[in-house]
Structure 1
Amino acid sequence: MAINLQKGQTIDLRKNDKGESFDLSKVTIGLGWDVKQKEGSFLGKLFGTNKEEEFDLDVIAFLLDSNGKVANLGKELVFSNGQKVGLHGGDVVFFNSMTFPSGTGTSNTLFPEGTPKYTIQQKINQLLSNGELIVHTGDNLTGEGDGDDEQIIIKLESLPARIEKIVFLVCIYQGIQKNQQFGKVENAFIRACDSNNKEIAKYTLSNSPELENKHSLVFGETYRHNNGWKFRAIGEPLHTDNFVDVLKKYIN
């Protein structure tokens, strides 16, 4: 039975206190959330005009070394349309560098909008078989991690020794500009499932005044401990809506 974590709680991912063991050869970190329903008028409800506000939440993973820093910031790519993308192929896994270690593909080429979920699952399996150790799905998958809004799949036991910790961050895209913040998000959670799709632990973020006017959230982290891995529920809200602002503390 999965452990429901409290803020600040740390657990061993290999085995729970009931002696149940977990296969960490492939771990799925799933994140999910809902946007609070808007208070609408009677006519709005009648005619269906009280539409739920759309939030664009992005999940980012920082891969840290023994000094707690992101050692490899990757490189800048220039696409055919002239768009420049930095941090590609380094130790930051995000919407423009969705795999590790190669950083193959971007959100526009790895899983184009409308790609069938079965095709996405096949592509993920192919990437993992071809040597990628982390794949950011960018979408919900059927079966494994059902109910997650985004997932990061990690071959945890195959990561290079230089990676000591992974920090998981969620940012609301253009949250400040659009006046969208975590005070309007509910049922937010992060969970870990093992290679057999057994849920190891889940941390659900309760509605709290500290989330008001915050546009990013350090949700949790996993780190090496005694030849194994632990997971810590963090739940630290931040004002910025740009993950690069958070990244700065891990590179200085």
Structure 2
Amino acid sequence: MGIDLKKGSKVNLMKDNVRLDKVMLGIGWDIIPGNSLDLDISVFMVGENGKLPADEYFIFYNNLKSPDNSVEHTGDNRDGEGDGDDEMILAYLSQINPSIKELIFVASIHNAEVLNHHFGMLDNAYIRIVDVDKKNEFLRFNLNKSTFGNATDMEFGRLIKSGRDWTFKATGDGTRIGLQGYVDQYV
């Protein structure tokens, strides 16, 4: 197990691992018994202006791969069943379009407003980063469900590029804007 992050923490992924290239961002959660919901993970690949350079840089269940083939969503888990990561994003850091400066990782609950679903129905939610080549987890950010109980969407974290380095920032910002609200922010 790697570094356990707190909200607002930052870790330079390249500091002790200059050859790091292929990472897996795993996001997991458990649904509190008696509830059911569909959590969707999305990635917004934004440039210096904080916007997507093209719609195809919005990675989600209907667009699983970035146009530069550097980021891939491995598929939608509709129920959170099973142990471990429920949804995964693979990223090849060296292949990311040079105009991309941040990868923003968002989780949203499908039809949250209609179904009256919220993050308080989840337990053990986390995001972690794994060095795929070395097969080891080197950081994890666990979300505190009491802090985000009635949020319907969450920015889990950001990968931020500075020169050749990539830094992960654990944000954990809960909202009620829906996935469309995030799309409106970054388009």
TM-score, structure 2 length as denominator?
0.90
Residue matched to 2:26: 30
Shift of 1:193: 0.6
Matches of residues 61-210 of structure 1 in structure 2 within 5 Å?
61-73=43-55, 90-101=56-67, 132-138=69-75, 147-196=84-133, 197-208=135-146, 210=147
User: What's the CA shift string for 1:89-132, capped at 9, x where partnerless?
Assistant: x1100000001116xxxxxxxxxxxxxxxxxxxxxxxxxxxxx2
Residue matched to 2:80: none
Identity of aligned residues (%): 32
Find the aligned partners of 2:149 and 2:129 in 1 and give their Cα distance.
26
Find the aligned partners of 1:22 and 1:150 in 2 and give their Cα distance.
26
The letter of the residue matching 1:101 is P
Structure 1 runs not aligned, ≥5 long = 39-52, 74-89, 103-131, 141-145
Shift of 1:149: 0.2
User: What's the CA shift string for 1:211-249, capped at 9, x where partnerless?
Assistant: 232110000000112321000000000113x31211212
**Residue pair 2:11, 2:168 contacting (<8 A) in 1 also:** yes
**Residue pair 1:12, 1:231 contacting (<8 A) in 2 also:** yes
Shift of 1:37: 2.1
**Residue pair 1:183, 1:207 contacting (<8 A) in 2 also:** yes
Give the greater-gyration-radius structure (CA): 1
Shift of 1:136: 0.5
Shift of 1:54: 2.1
Residue matched to 2:156: 219
Residue matched to 2:169: 232
Shift of 1:176: 1.2
Residue matched to 2:180: 244
Find the aligned partners of 1:152 and 1:26 in 2 and give their Cα distance.
11
**Residue pair 2:61, 2:76 contacting (<8 A) in 1 also:** no
**Residue pair 1:30, 1:192 contacting (<8 A) in 2 also:** yes
Count of aligned pairs between the two proteins? 181
Shift of 1:70: 1.1
TM-score, structure 1 length as denominator?
0.68
Cα RMSD, aligned residues only = 1.7
Give secondary structure in 2 for the equivalent of 1:160.
Answer: coil
The letter of the residue matching 1:33 is W
**Residue pair 1:22, 1:194 contacting (<8 A) in 2 also:** no
**Residue pair 1:218, 1:236 contacting (<8 A) in 2 also:** yes
Find the aligned partners of 1:152 and 1:164 in 2 and give their Cα distance.
17
> CA, structure 1 residues 55+178, in 2 after alignment: closer, same or farther (shift >3 Å)?
same
Higher mean C-alpha displacement, 25-34 vs 146-155: 146-155
**Residue pair 1:58, 1:171 contacting (<8 A) in 2 also:** yes
